[in-house]
Amino acid sequence: MNGYILFLFFSLTVVCAFADLEEAWRRHQRMFPRISTRGKKEAQLRKQVFSKNYEEVEKFNREAAEGKHSYTIGLNAFSDWTEEEKNSILRKNDVPEPTEKHYRTAGAPYGGPLPDFVDWRDKGKVTGVRAQGGCASCWAFGATAAIETMLLIKYNQTVDLSEQHLMDCTDGKYGRDYPTCDYGGWPAWAYQYIIDNGGYALEEHYPYLEQTQECKKDDSWKHGSISGFVDIKPGDEEEMKRVVATVGAISVDIDASGSMGSYLDGVYQRKNCGTQRGNHIVTIIGYGTEKGRDYWLVKNSWGDWWGQNGIGKIARGVNMCAIAMHANYPVKE
């Protein structure tokens, strides 16, 4: 009798788990429809990928509940992407780094201690989260996010600037020899182009297309101008903290491989994350401490379904995922 009850319990558990998976898959298809899933064979492949990710999320979050992880993961638009597809939107290893550096100490304007917590959203100085889609254009989004926050802080000016303009018009410049959608890049390219061009276009004039195209030019596209940009010395998270508290947002390079694409909540900290160079640009918009863990507050360009409405927390003070190795920010004087 006991064996029968155990078998029945196990059977019901399997059925419930299967029902949960099926419902999750249907919900995923409603939230993130893909043209490619219209074919039966393609749909089967996507469901297989999704099922594997579903199981990984369930297992990881059970471990997180037991205290084995400092963050949780979840299902999102990447959940039916193959590893190859996810890697395609990250910067390739052979993209050369900018060689010229612009170091400068930000300094504290009041000479006092820095606050323990900063979130520029609380003061309305952060623009909305956007989605780069299937294009390795994070560098343009990271730079644009930092500039938009700078303009809000300095002038209370809200603008929606064009990442596509930066993608198209840096082609062949600043060491960029490949189409950005295929290889990715660095915020320094964006900053230098904006300086050379005297600004760039608004999104409404130069909309995002998720592909590199021929550069368009218009003398009236002079928005978001900057006078320069500053590189923070590699590994100096204290200077990064000072800049975020007293100046504004910073564009940074992180290793976004592994579970980063599934991040949901908590402070992201894991072993085997890059320490010298990443493959994805995000924008730091604040910092703080949660459950005894110091973190950087980052704005991503993977849409509002990643993290908490497009915002995440990455461990601070330990160069997590190489976040302190390539950090810079725009200035306007």
Helix (H, G, I), strand (E, B) or coil at 3: helix
Catalytic residue of the set 69, 165, 280, 326? 280
Cα–Cα distance measured from residue 92 to residue 50, given in angstroms and rounded to the nearest whole number: 25
Annotated catalytic residue 205:
no
Catalytic residue among 135, 138, 181, 273: 138
Whether 1 and 8 have beta carbons less than 8 Å apart is answered as no
280 is catalytic: yes
300 has catalytic annotation: yes
Q: Which of 194, 136, 147, 196 is nearest to 166 (CA)?
A: 194
Cα angle for residues 214, 139, 69 (degrees, 5° grid):
145
Q: Report the amino acid identity of residue 156.
A: N
| Cβ atoms of residues 311 and 129 within 8 Å | yes
The dotted CATH code for 85-331 is 3.90.70.10
- Can you give the pTM of this predicted structure? 0.91
Domain boundaries, the chain: 2-69, 85-331
Per-residue pLDDT of the chain (333 residues; tens, 9 = 90+): 444 343 333 333 333 344 699 999 999 988 888 766 668 888 888 999 999 999 999 999 999 999 999 999 999 999 999 999 999 999 998 888 876 777 665 544 546 789 999 999 999 999 999 999 999 999 999 999 999 999 999 999 999 999 999 999 987 777 767 767 888 999 999 999 999 999 999 999 999 999 988 999 999 999 999 999 999 999 999 999 999 999 999 999 999 998 999 999 999 999 999 898 999 999 999 999 999 999 999 999 999 999 999 999 999 999 999 999 999 999 998
The Cα 176–Cα 95 span in angstroms is 8
Q: Which residue has the tokens 């608004």?
A: 202
Of these residues, 53, 300, 319, 328, which one is catalytic? 300
